[in-house]
A and B are shown apart, each in its own frame.
Chain A
């Protein structure tokens, strides 16, 4: 199993550009989530999904969209990037059906200039 994969590893965007961060897992996990990590802030939940077709907002959802058309994939879209979205983004999945025991991807480092 590849586990949780994320692409790209690094990305530089200009303010106002859009892009999609990809996340995929091959463990048949129902629960998937996106976090952003900023220095001194820990990880903050952006959006999460408890299964295909079901998504919900986390703590910091503004400026981000998600969809979940398959169990495997959970892309995160930035519609109009802002410098405040400069961060490291982690995708995670869980087999427990809930938020417990999440497996994390390697992360995407995004810089918005």
Chain B
């Protein structure tokens, strides 16, 4: 079975510092990978996705992620964070195909950006 592990439940950083949110997945087949962001009291918004092709994926708000098949990782990075990046971030992977395709989420990482 596929699963997603987000290695840090909380990450505090100072404004303008770089950040990396870690995500590992378990899979023996091809995968599609996603990062979603949830701002306080809101729904989830797609940040970026890896479906195929280049392993370095750029998303919205200056975030990027790198798909590493050998390490089964899909870590999210931003070189300089802002206060407005404070949110919860979820890594997700698809399981199944066609009519049985589903999305499995990690437990989330709360990013707090301090002034």
A7-50 vs B, Cβ < 8 Å mask (1 yes, 0 no): 00000000000000000000000010101000011111100101
Whether A63 is near chain B, meaning CB under 8 Å from some CB there, is no
Contact status B49-A98, CB under 8 Å: no
Is B107 in the interface zone, CB < 8 Å from A? yes
Interface 9-residue window, one of B13-21, B67-75, B77-85, B97-105: B97-105
Whether A101 and B46, one on each chain, are in contact in the complex, defined by CB atoms closer than 8 angstroms, is yes
Q: Which of the four size classes fits the interface of chain B?
A: 20 to 34
Residues of B within 8 A of A (CB): 9, 32, 34, 36, 42-46, 49, 51, 90, 94-108
**A41: chain B residues within 8 A (beta carbon):** 107
Give Cα A45 to B34, complex, Å: 16
Question: How many Å from the CB of A71 to the closest CB on chain B?
Answer: 15
